[in-house]
Amino acid sequence: MLTRVAKEFDFHAAHVLPNHDGQCSRLHGHTYRLRVIVEGGVRPIDTAPDEGMVIDFAVLKRIYKEKVEPFVEHQNLNDTLVAPGHVLVSTCENMVEWIYNQFRDAIEYEGVATLAEVRLWETPTSWAEVRS
C-alpha cells in the first residue's frame, strides 16, 4: 500500500515575462504557494527516528531550504532562474518543472520515497503542476 504525504511552502518573488502581451510584460510580484507530494510505504515501527513515516517532513523542508528557497524567496526570478539558465522564461509552468526536478533528484538520493506531484500556485486561483 502506498501512502501520500504533502508539505506546502510559500514564497514571495518578482518576475517579468518580456514577450507577454499584457500586464505580465512589466516587473511584478506574486505570493507563490508550493505543494510537494511524496508517496511510499509507511516505515515499520522499529525504533528508528522515522518509524511510522513515509518521509520525515523535515527532509522535505531541508530540500526546499537548500535547493529551492535561495533561488526564489524575495528574488527577481529573471535574475535567479532565467539568467543562469535554470528556466527559459519565468512562467509558472517552467518554474514547477524546475522545482520538481530539484525535489526529485534530492528524494532519489535520499532513497526514502517517490516524488508524486509538485503543484505551484502563482495566484490563489492559478497553478501548474507536474506529476510523476
Q: How far apart are CA 17 and CA 21, in angstroms?
A: 9
Catalytic-role residue among 15, 92, 97, 122: 122
Of the residues 12, 20, 28, 74, only one is catalytic, namely: 74
12 labelled catalytic: no
Active site residue 92: no
- Three-point CA angle 93, 30, 98, nearest 5°: 30
The one catalytic residue in 24, 30, 39, 69 is 24
Q: The C-alpha cell of 40 is what?
A: 511510499
- SS3 for 88? coil
Known catalytic residues are 24, 74, 122
